């Protein structure tokens, strides 16, 4: 599937999962191919201009992603990825502030649970979950099920300005540690 022209790859964590982007650039043939999770999403053959941009949709929300191809010197090229109009680093930093992620194993299956703080949407392994939310004395609780298991994301005020709202994930009443991806 991937040719010897593979020049760059990135991983982008979105609510519906971690997406692997691979870019093949044939500097002698002018070919450009973009793969997302192993699937070809863009193919251009025989381009005379070796620099430029390739834009494509990423994930279920069709997030805009752009690969920038720039000449550095002679026949050397530099490749960078923008997601949602921002550099990958800025996008990742912003997502770290706007989401919480937990990685866990439930009934022998790895699960990646993501909370979008702005909408309070919950995703598990790429699927948006049906949730119920309610306000409680010390904050709010967003509940849903994973198979036969009761899950709850508790949001509480930390009392400290810097940390603001704290989110805790409970699986059948047991607290699950947060992940950083």
CA-to-CA separations, 172 to 103, 115, 138, 149, in angstroms, rounded: 15, 18, 20, 6
Q: Which of 173, 171, 36, 38 is nearest to 113 (CA)?
A: 171
Helices (H), the chain: 88-98
pLDDT digits (tens, 9 = 90+) for 131-170: 999 999 888 999 999 999 999 999 998 777 666 788 999 9
65: left (phi over 0), alpha (psi -120 to 50) or beta: beta
The encoded tokens of residue 156 equal: 């509480």
Q: How far is 44 from 21, CA to CA, in rounded Å?
A: 16
CATH number of the structural domain 6-84: 2.40.128.180
Mean pLDDT, rounded, for 49-75? 92
pLDDT digits (tens, 9 = 90+) for 83-106: 999 999 999 999 989 999 999 999
Predicted confidence (pLDDT) at residue 107 exceeds the cutoff of 60: yes
CA-to-CA separations, 115 to 50, 120, 181, in angstroms, rounded: 40, 6, 12
Q: How far is 112 from 99, CA to CA, in rounded Å?
A: 12
Q: Which of 3.40.1650.10, 3.40.50.300, 3.30.365.10, 2.40.128.180 is the CATH number of 99-176?
A: 2.40.128.180
Instruction: Tell me what pLDDT residue 3 has.
Output: 57
Q: How far is 60 from 144, CA to CA, in rounded Å?
A: 21
Q: Running DSSP on this structure, what letter comes out for residue 92?
A: H
90: left (phi over 0), alpha (psi -120 to 50) or beta: alpha
Please list the residue range(s) of the chain that carry CATH number 2.40.128.180: 6-84, 99-176
Answer for the pair 177, 101: CB distance below 8 angstroms, yes or no. no
Instruction: Tell me what pLDDT residue 129 has.
Output: 96
């Amino acid at each position: 599937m991937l040719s010897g022209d593979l020049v760059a790859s990135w991983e982008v964590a979105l609510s519906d999962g971690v997406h692997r982007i691979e870019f093949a650039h044939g500097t002698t043939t002018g070919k450009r191919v973009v793969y997302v999770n192993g699937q070809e999403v863009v193919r251009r053959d025989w381009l005379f201009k070796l620099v430029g941009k390739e834009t494509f949709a990423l994930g279920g929300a069709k997030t805009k992603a752009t690969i920038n191809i720039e000449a550095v010197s002679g026949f050397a090229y530099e490749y960078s990825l923008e997601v949602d109009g921002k550099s990958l680093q800025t996008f990742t930093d912003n997502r770290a502030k706007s989401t919480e992620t937990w990685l866990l194993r439930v009934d022998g299956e790895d699960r990646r649970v993501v909370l979008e703080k702005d909408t309070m949407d919950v995703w598990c392994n790429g699927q948006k979950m049906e949730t119920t939310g309610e306000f409680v004395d010390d904050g709010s609780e967003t509940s849903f099920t994973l198979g036969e298991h009761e899950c709850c994301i508790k949001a509480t005020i930390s009392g400290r300005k810097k940390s603001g709202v704290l989110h805790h994930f409970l699986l059948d009443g047991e607290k699950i540690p947060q992940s950083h991806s």
